[in-house]
Chains A and B, each alone.
Chain A
Amino acid sequence: MSFISYLVTGISLGSVYAIIALGYTMVYGIAKMLNFAHGDVIMIGGYVVFVAVSNLGIDPYVAILISMAVCTVLGVVVEKVAYKPLRNASPLAVLITAIGVSYLLQNVALLIFGSDTKAFTSVVTMKNITLFDGQLIIPGVAVVTVLACIVIMIGLSLFIKKTKAGRAMVAVSEDKGAAQLMGINVNGTISLTFAIGSGLAAIAGVLLCSAYPSLTPYTGAMPGIKAFVAAVFGGIGSIPGAMIGGILLGIIENLSKAYISSQMADAIVFAVLIIVLLVRPTGILGKNIQEKV
């Protein structure tokens, strides 16, 4: 029974990683860059909700919407100011700038909120589900998180397939030049991608802090890295891959924490990643693009 309980928590954690990973993978697919600051947008999302609910007494659901709005704007602004000018620069240059943005966000939060841990009041009001005469307790947060992840996945897939803007995103990610020649507004599409990714990051932040209610300026960094690992694990650029990678990662991490040791959990997660990539170098669902000779 405890195994299933760990599994459930792992899936819940993995769902959060999946939502974050979606943002990474979408941005990577379109802008061909690793948005290192993505993890810190999660942290900002968490702080906005915290301030709104704890300090301003705003209704949690409204607070979430506000947080999504803030993060979306933040993502678009960062892209316009820091990433767009470097679109034709080397990928390393963009990566370093993203790192700079990450440091910036962390230190702004540090200045405003201080380094002490804030106690985050969970926005999830759903009660735990008790099964099998109390032998298995599924946390309400877990249910909400997994549901949110599924809804987002379905919503995103529909968006990509059925809307003009979504198809434009795919086009730009395949061939930016051709898309532009077809009349697609490349800049707008890229901004939209960042907007969606950042909005999702806000949701992830709220869910993460609801499940693990401690919030510091550094809360977003490690989940960000892990989510990026998940995106690569599932095949970078692939949306279903991000979901699979995220959930698998969450399960592996939680089971390792439970059965082996909490210190080695991270190492094990990374080790699994390495093994998968060695066997399947482009990730689970990654596309194997042959270089033309």
Chain B
Amino acid sequence: MALLEVKNLGISFGGLRAVNAFDIEIEKGQLYGLIGPNGAGKTTIFNLLTGVYKPDEGIIKLDGENITGKKAIDINKAGIARTFQNIRLFKDMSVKDNVKVGLHNHHSYSTLEGILRLPRYFKVEKEMDERAMELLKVFDLDQEADLLASNLPYGKQRKLEIARALATDPKLLLLDEPAAGMNPNETKELMDTIRFVRDKFDMTILLIEHDMKLVSGICEKLTVLNFGEVLMQGDTSTVLNDPQVITAYLGE
């Protein structure tokens, strides 16, 4: 059984059919790429998968569980986490606190216990602190733990967003243009990081990207999206060499 099974997903905005008859199957542990020209509907699909939008038709199943139409919070609890095209960090909170928010649902104590500073507060806070530092260390951000998130350089902000998403202990990680704005060196580092995340966290990753070096470098399978519909699906090398795909990207 595939980890993510999507069948016939579709949504319209006003009169515009943004996504139509979208199918995808992602196996556990895969590095899967979603590519296509600008405006093809890739982020819309991410929004559908994460519950930001409710689909008009279609079924989304995660690990056998039907999560279609569920709210964003419930989908995250079910096991999907994401990063955003325009980085969405908690800018006025520290780097460590950003990750701790990600840990919110897995380490809990009540508001009252927090206010009264009962023993459970100290126990759980300690756990969260250790876990947050573990995650930050993985992404080489532990030195900046107490810095304000908005003070990080761009590349590190992207990494922090990924760290925060991983803190929610997902089964499936969605990365929306993680290499946007990066130079070739940073992109190479990102590729290593993504592979490392997949290996160390036993993660399944679906990413949207325009950077073909990254796509061909790490993605095992691809789906090409054009005008909201699937143009082509399959192994990376096959898809990237397909004449239709090349036309869609580069034009005639």
Contacts and interface: CB of A to CB of B under 8 A. Distances in A.
Find out whether A and B make contact in their complex, taking CB atoms under 8 A apart as touching: yes
A279 interface: no
Nearest to A290: B13
B236 interface: no
B84 interface: yes
A257 B225 CA distance: 62
A293 interface: yes
Chain A interface mostly = loop
A293 B84 CA distance: 8
B162 to A, nearest CB: 18
A293 B82 CA distance: 12
Interface in A65-107: none
Interface string B124-138: 000000000000000
Interface in A141-156: none
A89 to B, nearest CB: 15
Interface in B22-64: 43, 47, 52
A293 B52 CA distance: 8
A36 B47 CA distance: 39
A293 B51 CA distance: 12
Contacts of A293: 43, 47, 52, 84
A90 B43 CA distance: 30
Contacts of B47: 293
Interface in A251-293: 293
Interface string A153-182: 000000000000000000000000000000
A84 B43 CA distance: 38
Interface in B125-163: none
A293 B49 CA distance: 13
B37 to A, nearest CB: 18
A293 B83 CA distance: 11
Interface in B44-93: 47, 52, 84
Interface in B93-141: none
Nearest to B50: A293
A291 to B, nearest CB: 10
Contacts of B43: 293
Contacts of B84: 293
A175 to B, nearest CB: 17
Nearest to B72: A293
Interface string A185-213: 00000000000000000000000000000
Nearest to B43: A293
Contacts of B52: 293
A263 to B, nearest CB: 39
Nearest to A292: B86
A293 B18 CA distance: 15
A293 B85 CA distance: 8
A293 B47 CA distance: 8
A293 B48 CA distance: 11
B19 to A, nearest CB: 14
A30 to B, nearest CB: 26
4 contacts: A293-B43, A293-B47, A293-B52, A293-B84
Listed from nearest, the 3 A-B pairs whose CB atoms lie closest are A293-B52, A293-B47, A293-B84
